[in-house]
Structure 1
Amino acid sequence: MKKHVLAALCCSLMMFNVTALFGQGKVTGKLVDSDTNEALIGAAIYVKNNNAVGTVTNLNGGFELDVPNKEVTLMFSYLGYLDLEKQVTINQDLDLGTIKLTTSSVGIVEVAVVASIAKDRETPVAMSSIKPQLIEEKLGTQEYPEILKSTPSVYATKQGGGYGDSRIYLRGFDSNNIGVLINGVPVNDMESGKVYWSNWAGLSDVTQTMQVQRGLGASKLALSSVGGTINIITRSTDAQKGGSFYTGVGNDGYTKQALTFSTGLLENGWAVTASGSRTVGDGYIQATNFEGWSYFMNISKIINDKHRVSLTAFGAPQWHNQRGNQHLIEDYRSHREKDKWNSDFGYRNGEIYNGAYAHNYYHKPQISLNHYWNIDESSMLATSVYISKSKGGGRRVYGENDDWLKINYDDGRPTEDTKLTPEGYLDYDYVINENSQADNGSTAVIANSINSHDWYGILSSYTKHFGATTLTAGLDGRYYKGYHMYEIDDLLGGQYMLDDSNVNRDETMRLTVGDKVNYHNLGEVLWAGGFLQGEYKTDAYSAFLSLSAAQNSYRRTDYFQYTPEEGQVTDWLSFYTYTVKGGANYNINEKNNVFVNAGYIARAPYFRNAFLGYTNDFNEDAKNETIITGELGYGFRTSKLNVKANIYYTLWKDKGLVKSFGDLTANIPGINAQHYGVEVEAKYQPVRGLNIGAMVSVGDWRWTDNVIFEAYDEDQSLIGTFNAYIEDVHVGNSAQTTAWLGVDYEVLPKLKLGADLNFFGDNYSDFDPTNRTSEEDQVDAWQLPDATILDINANYKFKIGSLDATVYGRIHNLLDTEYITDATDGTSHEVSTATVYYGFGTTWSTGLKVKF
């Protein structure tokens, strides 16, 4: 018995010694942004030189890490922030408290203030943020806006499938009605309000953060943000010397190379960051090959503690072939290319040559000079002067016999005059032969529809803190001149062309490559705005009231339809607009918060709707559109679960539309719509390394009234008054019900796998109100079938010598699901007459990124 007791005592002593020698202590803490104190979710904490001992922060930024009892160096790392080393001695549990990480970009805080980046549990708006890590892991060959498809009430598609041809809808509103800002500067087209994403193809490489603010949003500017605001903050200059190189490949000949380098912040206060990329491919869709470049440069100088200047330039010159026509479903199914079919191209000299509305080239550089003045501890003045001079256009077919090379837009089928080869391609050889033998020159030529512009702007914002109250006031000035014309690019076998579209030119004048035909006009927009906002913030309460006003002035110049004696330049046509909005947030406790906001917007009609047709005649019915909107939201947050939910209501009144079809122009005033719905998104982190996300949004978006419109002939003479029967018809072109379920799991140290399941439902075809002139047309447009798409991704981090490297892999639409993304309603409002675009089948990409 004594021997057994003695043996047990010895074992106990040995175990005590082992525990003493190899025991562990629990290290806890919380990581936050050093400037905003926002929690950093998913940041990495690990023991230096021992990556096996590590963890990531939870949804509150907190962490727990078991570390051996000894002196170790802990590493704190988060994409977009400077790494932090902290030496600690572990002999028992240790609470490090709040640890602040500093952003790796110089001056990013000032940019975020100017750009009105919203903060969770403080800014009373519905919002979702996308970090660069998510873009790197999941974007792949998708279009830039598609990274937002897991966001409530967002619907993004590739449309025809050309490079950069994507579109995005938010709460049922298209990009004309979504305010898009890059570093606080609005980039929506000043004439139409549209955003052409091919102009910003390189943004995914330099995005610091991307935030979708649904509804009113937090921007202080008088924006056209009926549906919401997409706020993009690019990298500025990196505070740390280094860079990265990326190379990737994907389906259908896709290749991409990108290079970034930075001097870091030098001792003399200067810092320079530059990046560039080249992307080429054949395109998933038939005859959609492309080449795109992008460049970005930021030069910053910290003059002293109070002044910093920053010069930023970026752009994305590109050309790409497109698909210009949707088709009937039965025509896709009977064609050998199925859903990849492109009817809008042929061959010239053995090379792909796309036709009308099927080739685009553009370059829109933007340069901004920013000055940040920290006047004192409580006030700051930020001023940005910017310029954008774009050049480019799209291919068109023009002339008396332009139907030789055109497809009928209404049904996607050839016209009775379309010339096709036996294989079904556009027959350029036929046209070249006919033009070469014609007595009066070419009767069908290739022209470029030029849409270039010069854009100058200044944005200045003054911020003053008075204890818990902050006052912001500023000015927003812009001048825009758009150049619109057709230029002959190829005579297709002829020696010249005759054209009678210019009243100031002899119609017998022989025109050649570079001459202008069809139309030549200028559109000028002058914008003078101001804003004033007051904010109140305590730990429990925050509120804001914002006022903004602007004068929108339009002027049109037409060199073809009017003689100098008649007058080619209109007077300025001015509209006065304003926005009033406010909101409040209440943090009930550390876990729960509620918010409410409401606003009234009086918005000017767009340039296109201010004039009748493509003429200098003012549209007397054009008036301000009004938007009334409000939201009520709730948030719940713990270290493992984060839930946000809100309901919204938007009433859009007096929307105007001027639409041309053939030689007729329809002026449709007083269109009203009602959008309301509920949005819920959640993040759950049950265990270390496992992140689960979910989202569901359900909307009900309808046109609320039938409207009366007038139609005019080409001489602007009234030919009749008609009814558009659209009351209670659902708004088209956007899924009104969306859902997402995503899982990311670090299955092994440094190896992460992810899967995303997206659902799109209650999606109705787009439609033209001028085609609904009979009471029998007062029915819903054809409803697209619901779709569920599965994407997967993986990435693995490792070392190449002393360099950090990551390899990425992504597969989109893993199950090769057949689904329709875009549709236009037909005459019967049923599937048989709707024209559509299909979504992409399975696509893939892989890439390697090395940091140095």
Structure 2
Amino acid sequence: MIKKYLLFFVFLPFIQLFAQEETTFFGFVIDAKTQAPIENVVVSIQNSSLTQLTSANGRFELHSPIKGEQLLLIHSQGYKDLLLKLESNFGFKVNLGILQLEDNFSDETPAALITLLDSDLTDDNSSSEMTSGLLQSSKDAFMQASAFNWGQARFRVRGLDSENGTMMLNGMVMNKLYDGRPQWNNWGGLNNVLRNQEFSVGTAPSTYTFGGILGAQQIFTRASMYRKGGQLTFSGSNTSYTWRAIGTYASGMNASGWAYAVSAGKRWSDEGFFEGTNFKAESLFISVEKKLNAKQALNFTGFYTPNSRGKNSANTDEVTQLTNEKYNSYWGFQNGEKRNARIKKVEEPLLMLNHYFKIDEKTNLNSSVIYQFGKVGNSNIDYQKTDSPDPTYYRKLTSYFTSLYTKDQGEFSGAFTPDYENAEKSKISFLENYQIDWSAMYRANQKQIPNSEQNSFDFEPTQSRYVLYEDRTDDKTFAVSSNLNSQLTQNIFFDGGATFRNLKSHNFQYLLDLLGGESFEDIDPFYKGNQSQSDLQHPNRKVKDGDIYGYNYNFLGNTIDAFTQFRFAYKKTDFYLAQSYSVSNYQREGLYQNGIYSTTSLGKSQKVNFENFGFKGGFTYKISGRQSLFFNGEHLTRAPSIRNTFSNSRLNNSIVDGIESENISSAEGNYVYHSPKLKMRFTTYYTLIKNSTKTSFFYAEGIFDNGAGYDATDAFVSQTLTHLDKKNVGAELSFEYQISSTLKSTLAAAYGNYTFNSNPNVLITNDANAVKVDKQTTFDFGKAYIKNYKQAGMPQQAYSFGLEYRDPKFWWIGANINYLSESYIDISPIARTAQFYINPANGFPFPEATKERGDALLKQEKFNPITLLNFSGGKSWRVHGKYIGLFSSVNNALNSIYKTGGFEQARNANFRALNQDVSSGTPSFGPKYYYGYGRTYFVNLTIGL
């Protein structure tokens, strides 16, 4: 006993010293309405690894070794975040008392609107849908406007698409290797279980990843983080879907260390806002956590969200004037029901296992293993030796007869001979048959057999001329990652991580429906002999429903990336430094021996390797408790996506000549002011992206110089741009003022100037020339003179002003007016090359091609400004301890008609053809446009169980 007391007195000074080196904060968290304690609320010290969950009685206790001023964040799903400024006094216990969390209904309900933008997504997922994530963690008025008010006009934050942001799930990067972008449909309909998020904007630091110049979005699905209880959600809308139902339940952590969360939902519509755009989607989600001991836990996450949606066509002004802005050429009636020929289907289940290891009070190690598989299909109609079934095919329209030019023996004479009689007949015919004629295709795929008994005809299947097929991608992705966060000293924090990803992507053409026929010939009818064969190893194949044909190959890809980050936090200043390193390799494996490229299509290509680095840093100066200045900068190199690495992957193993990693630089400066009544942020930014590569495909007329010996002046070609630079400069303003306890005003503004900053090289590949081994297939068209042209696809300026009234009796209403401008059409680079002015008949410039007329023809079209008036409101109740919330909104209340995007058709590939087409007044190959939603509504009912 004497020894024990002696040891106690020996170590007492050290125990007292240790106790003085930390401050203990404790308190209780309760629901502001019910006054009931809330379990499993996340309580953390910002910019540190100190985190704790509240107990069953809502109590928490944090031991902070950080000296001076610090921020305590209290976060729970379904509640507004509570941020407290604390002062640390070592050796003291600070009782924070009872902390009340207010219901987050007004914030969570609009999150359901994310999926309403699904039909706006282009097939390449380039939309900056990262803004949808911003609303989850940011109360910033600018981010709210970006997600809810400007998103319907395809606004992109800082003019950047989603490949410039990093999307993460429990520490794992979800951007696809194929195109660098997330596949948003993978988690559609899971809104209720994906609300636990963190978001870093721009080049700000993230504790989970190095991140891109658009930011990083991290979603958490750890079962113990969900608030215990259930929720039912019912929604109605007239946008991409009509009805939606979601059920969610979370168990909370039980005494045995188990927790789970489940969710199931369904969205559907026979027709969305645009004609023929049917929608069907289900969603299933499960997260199960097992607490192994006080320091370790395992969590399994799995979800499956099969969905399909009918696409909407882009139309020329001619077609829109004959129909309306909702017109969609992709559908037609079959047996009295609308059938869309272009359906996008996504079925990619995901399985994920996470290990959470709290090494000590200052260090956490989180590791992940993920396996994702499934398919993405885009359907279309294939046809052979017959006319196009597209009702807007240019030969079926009036403009074909009013803009005819003479083209004899490949010579573009410029003679103009309008045929008004046939033009009128064409107009009448189109108005009578302006949708796909499914019945006609079925008849074409069958032959008539006389039936003498009934004095009529029967039909029996024959070789199909029309079929419905799918461009399929079946991916298998395996990835592992690990992320370490540690507080090294009182003021220094370390974040680091590494990820390995492996992809096998099977790409092929899949026959869905013979449309009444008995088989389909697996050839390319534009070629003859061996060159027409899709696979020389199996020539003249007859394919049926469920068969692969046309093209068939694998993409193989591996990436390893790692990052380290050091953050320094002091009373008046914070700063950070981060580094990244990555290695990528890609390969194509041809499964068919294509008849055009018999020696370069089968087997594995050369492996393409890229090694890349990144550096970023930032500095924050805290002027006072209400004001701060911060600056961030980033420079990195980035491997091109698999999509842009191979020039014609459907047919051969060719790699883009001179392919390089992109060079990206970005910098931003911010001023932030926060007070109880006023919240303001002003940001300026500069971004330069260099050495981008972009590949596209189209049919062009008058593209080659027949006089120089090429086989034909017209061709279906692939176009690859290299050394394409983009410059994005602009400013953002977020302003929020609490006029009174119930009335709040918001103002958001985005001013940008997004341009091309180089004249990229243009490479054109003509497959037709490959049929002769001595012929050149890839042609260098020199530079496309597009420097200072505007980047397309989004408004470059946007402004929003809103008012919101919140009544103490838990109802609210808001309205905002939005003005968006400076949106431009997507230009055709080949029309900006020197070759555009060359007559393909003789190789000499067109004599009538003056600079003035060329500038007029090639002037980039700017769309009209857009004004959108939106209303929203809601009410919540407590009935027998249960929560009921109602939310509704009306967007574009004035029913404005506006273009959200469009592109120049590249078919007129020389001056004379384009000049004559435009001069006719009714161009056959005028630009095609996408239109935004008119007046739309959304109603949402939430019941908390």
Q: TM-score, normalised by structure 2?
A: 0.72
Question: Aligned equivalents of 1:35 and 1:345: distance in 2?
Answer: 66
Question: Aligned equivalents of 1:459 and 1:411: distance in 2?
Answer: 54
2:276 is matched by which residue type in structure 1?
A: A
Question: Aligned equivalents of 1:47 and 1:508: distance in 2?
Answer: 73
User: What does 1:577-596 align with in structure 2 at a 5 Å threshold?
Assistant: 577-596=612-631
Question: Aligned equivalents of 2:621 and 2:112: distance in 1?
Answer: 35
Question: Aligned equivalents of 1:416 and 1:514: distance in 2?
Answer: 37
Aligned counterpart in structure 1 of residue 264 of structure 2, from 259, 276, 283: 276
- 8 A contact 1:440–1:498 mirrored in 2: no
- 8 A contact 2:647–2:718 mirrored in 1: yes
- Kindly state the Cα deviation for residue 759 of structure 1 after the two structures are TM-superposed: 2.2
1:728 alignment partner in structure 2: 788
3-state DSSP of counterpart to 1:729: coil
- Kindly state the Cα deviation for residue 647 of structure 1 after the two structures are TM-superposed: 0.8
2:724 alignment partner in structure 1: 671
User: What does 1:455-474 align with in structure 2 at a 5 Å threshold?
Assistant: 455-467=477-489, 468-474=491-497
3-state DSSP of counterpart to 1:340: coil
Aligned counterpart in structure 2 of residue 195 of structure 1, from 173, 176, 182: 182
- Kindly state the Cα deviation for residue 152 of structure 1 after the two structures are TM-superposed: 5.7
Aligned counterpart in structure 2 of residue 441 of structure 1, from 463, 466, 469: 463
- Kindly state the Cα deviation for residue 399 of structure 1 after the two structures are TM-superposed: 3.1
- Kindly state the Cα deviation for residue 532 of structure 1 after the two structures are TM-superposed: 1.2
User: What does 1:333-372 align with in structure 2 at a 5 Å threshold?
Assistant: 333-335=321-323, 338-355=324-341, 358-372=342-356
1:287 alignment partner in structure 2: 276
Q: Structure 1 residues 396 and 649 mapped into 2: Cα distance closer, same or farther (>3 Å)?
A: same
- 8 A contact 1:387–1:455 mirrored in 2: yes
Question: Aligned equivalents of 1:710 and 1:36: distance in 2?
Answer: 64
Aligned counterpart in structure 2 of residue 802 of structure 1, from 881, 884, 909: 881
Aligned counterpart in structure 1 of residue 507 of structure 2, from 475, 484, 504: 484
1:652 alignment partner in structure 2: 689
Question: Aligned equivalents of 1:591 and 1:636: distance in 2?
Answer: 5
User: What does 1:596-635 align with in structure 2 at a 5 Å threshold?
Assistant: 596-614=631-649, 615-635=652-672
Per-residue CA deviation, residues 380-422 of structure 1 (Å, 9 max, x unaligned), is 2110111111223011212324752236689996998999793
Question: Are 1:103 and 2:138 an aligned pair?
Answer: no
Aligned counterpart in structure 2 of residue 706 of structure 1, from 754, 759, 763: 759
Per-residue CA deviation, residues 305-359 of structure 1 (Å, 9 max, x unaligned), is 2112111112321122111x21123432331xx221111111222221112xx21
- Kindly state the Cα deviation for residue 167 of structure 1 after the two structures are TM-superposed: 6.4
- Kindly state the Cα deviation for residue 266 of structure 1 after the two structures are TM-superposed: 0.5
- Kindly state the Cα deviation for residue 158 of structure 1 after the two structures are TM-superposed: 13
Question: Aligned equivalents of 1:482 and 1:220: distance in 2?
Answer: 31
1:376 is matched by which residue type in structure 2?
A: D
Question: Are 1:717 and 2:777 an aligned pair?
Answer: yes
Question: Aligned equivalents of 2:696 and 2:75: distance in 1?
Answer: 52
Question: Are 1:847 and 2:926 an aligned pair?
Answer: no
3-state DSSP of counterpart to 1:539: coil
Aligned counterpart in structure 2 of residue 142 of structure 1, from 116, 130, 141: 116
3-state DSSP of counterpart to 2:277: coil
3-state DSSP of counterpart to 2:294: coil
Unaligned runs of 5+ in 1: 1-33, 50-60, 62-79, 87-96, 110-130
3-state DSSP of counterpart to 2:107: helix
Q: Structure 1 residues 731 and 187 mapped into 2: Cα distance closer, same or farther (>3 Å)?
A: same
Question: Are 1:299 and 2:288 an aligned pair?
Answer: yes
Question: Are 1:426 and 2:486 an aligned pair?
Answer: no
Per-residue CA deviation, residues 467-503 of structure 1 (Å, 9 max, x unaligned), is 2111222211100111111111111221111113422
2:177 is matched by which residue type in structure 1?
A: M
1:572 is matched by which residue type in structure 2?
A: K
3-state DSSP of counterpart to 1:331: helix
Q: TM-score, normalised by structure 1?
A: 0.80
Q: Structure 1 residues 331 and 660 mapped into 2: Cα distance closer, same or farther (>3 Å)?
A: closer
Stretch moving more, 430-439 or 271-280: 430-439
- Kindly state the Cα deviation for residue 205 of structure 1 after the two structures are TM-superposed: 2.6
Per-residue CA deviation, residues 172-216 of structure 1 (Å, 9 max, x unaligned), is 222233332333322222111233333321242323255554432
Question: Aligned equivalents of 1:367 and 1:339: distance in 2?
Answer: 42
Between the aligned residues of both structures, percent identity stands at 21
User: What does 1:49-198 align with in structure 2 at a 5 Å threshold?
Assistant: 101=74, 103=76, 133-137=106-110, 139-140=112-113, 142-143=116-117, 145=129, 147=132, 151=142, 169-198=156-185
Q: Structure 1 residues 626 and 709 mapped into 2: Cα distance closer, same or farther (>3 Å)?
A: same
Q: Structure 1 residues 36 and 605 mapped into 2: Cα distance closer, same or farther (>3 Å)?
A: farther
1:465 is matched by which residue type in structure 2?
A: Q
Per-residue CA deviation, residues 19-69 of structure 1 (Å, 9 max, x unaligned), is xxxxxxxxxxxxxxx9999xx9xx9846859xxxxxxxxxxx9xxxxxxxx
Question: Aligned equivalents of 2:939 and 2:281: distance in 1?
Answer: 18
Question: Aligned equivalents of 2:690 and 2:106: distance in 1?
Answer: 40
1:15 alignment partner in structure 2: none
- Kindly state the Cα deviation for residue 456 of structure 1 after the two structures are TM-superposed: 1.0
3-state DSSP of counterpart to 1:198: helix
2:678 alignment partner in structure 1: 641
Per-residue CA deviation, residues 490-545 of structure 1 (Å, 9 max, x unaligned), is 11221111113422444332211111111111111100111111111123221111
Q: How many residues align?
A: 746
Per-residue CA deviation, residues 789-828 of structure 1 (Å, 9 max, x unaligned), is 1221111111333322112222121221222212224668
Q: Structure 1 residues 493 and 758 mapped into 2: Cα distance closer, same or farther (>3 Å)?
A: same
- 8 A contact 1:157–1:168 mirrored in 2: no
3-state DSSP of counterpart to 2:876: strand
2:310 alignment partner in structure 1: 321
3-state DSSP of counterpart to 1:308: strand
Question: Aligned equivalents of 2:648 and 2:151: distance in 1?
Answer: 27
2:193 alignment partner in structure 1: 206
1:766 alignment partner in structure 2: 826
1:472 is matched by which residue type in structure 2?
A: D
- Kindly state the Cα deviation for residue 223 of structure 1 after the two structures are TM-superposed: 6.9
- Kindly state the Cα deviation for residue 241 of structure 1 after the two structures are TM-superposed: 3.2
1:484 is matched by which residue type in structure 2?
A: N
Aligned counterpart in structure 1 of residue 812 of structure 2, from 746, 752, 760: 752
- Kindly state the Cα deviation for residue 247 of structure 1 after the two structures are TM-superposed: 1.7
3-state DSSP of counterpart to 1:711: strand
Per-residue CA deviation, residues 249-270 of structure 1 (Å, 9 max, x unaligned), is 2337711111111222101111
1:824 alignment partner in structure 2: 903
Kindly indicate which of the two structures has a greater share of residues assigned to helix: 2
- 8 A contact 1:741–1:758 mirrored in 2: yes
1:573 alignment partner in structure 2: 608
1:670 is matched by which residue type in structure 2?
A: H
- Kindly state the Cα deviation for residue 300 of structure 1 after the two structures are TM-superposed: 1.1
2:706 alignment partner in structure 1: none
2:228 alignment partner in structure 1: 241
Question: Aligned equivalents of 2:148 and 2:887: distance in 1?
Answer: 23
Question: Aligned equivalents of 2:605 and 2:223: distance in 1?
Answer: 42
Aligned counterpart in structure 1 of residue 517 of structure 2, from 494, 500, 517: 494
1:319 is matched by which residue type in structure 2?
A: S
- Kindly state the Cα deviation for residue 236 of structure 1 after the two structures are TM-superposed: 3.8
1:383 is matched by which residue type in structure 2?
A: S
Question: Aligned equivalents of 2:436 and 2:215: distance in 1?
Answer: 42
Per-residue CA deviation, residues 732-781 of structure 1 (Å, 9 max, x unaligned), is 11111112223322135111112232221111112232232247359552
Question: Aligned equivalents of 2:896 and 2:477: distance in 1?
Answer: 43
Question: Aligned equivalents of 1:724 and 1:493: distance in 2?
Answer: 47
- 8 A contact 1:175–1:194 mirrored in 2: yes
